[in-house]
Amino acid sequence: MSREDQSGEFVTLARVVKTQGRHGEVAVELHTDVPERFAPGLKLIALSQDGARRKLQVEELWPHKGLLVLKFGGIDSISDAEMLVRCELQVPLSERAKLESGWTYVSDLIGCTVFDGEREIGTISDVEFGAGEAPLLVVKPQPGATQREYEIPFAQAYLRSVDVAQKQVSMALPEGLLEVNAPLTVEEKQEQQRGKREE
Tell me: do 89 and 119 sit in the same domain: no
Closest residue by Cα to residue 1 from 30, 25, 37, 27: 30
Query: How many domains does the structure of the chain reveal?
Result: 2
Same domain assignment for residues 16 and 78: yes
Dihedral, CA of residue 117, residue 118, residue 122 and residue 126, to nearest 10: 30
Q: Could you tell me how far CA 47 lies from the centroid of its own chain? A: 17
* pLDDT for res 97: 58
Query: pLDDT tens across 164-198, in order?
Result: 788 999 999 988 888 766 655 555 545 555 554 55
29 within domain boundaries:
yes
* Domain end residue (candidates: 60, 94, 128): 94
The span from the CA of 27 to the CA of 14, in Å, is: 10
Which CATH number do you get for residue 121? Answer: 2.30.30.240
CATH number for the domain harbouring residue 27: 2.40.30.60
What's the longest Cα–Cα distance across the chain? Answer: 59
Domain boundaries, position 143: 108-181
Are residues 89 and 10 both part of a single domain? yes
20/7: higher pLDDT = 20
Query: Please, what is the average pLDDT of the chain?
Result: 80
**Which residues, in sequence order, are CB contacts of 69 under 8 Å at separation 6+?**
20, 21, 25, 26, 27, 28, 61, 62, 63
Tell me the whole-structure pTM to 2 decimals.
0.51
> Do both 86 and 116 map to the same domain?
no
Distance, CA of 105 to CA of 73 (rounded, Å): 28
The pLDDT assigned to 165 comes to 82
For the stretch 88-117, pLDDT in tens is 998 887 766 554 445 566 667 889 999 999
Look at residue 47 and tell me if it is in a domain.
yes
Buried b (16+ CB within 10 A) or exposed e, 1-40: ebbbbbeeebbbbbbbeebbeeebbbbbebbbbbeeebee
Tell me how long the chain is: 199
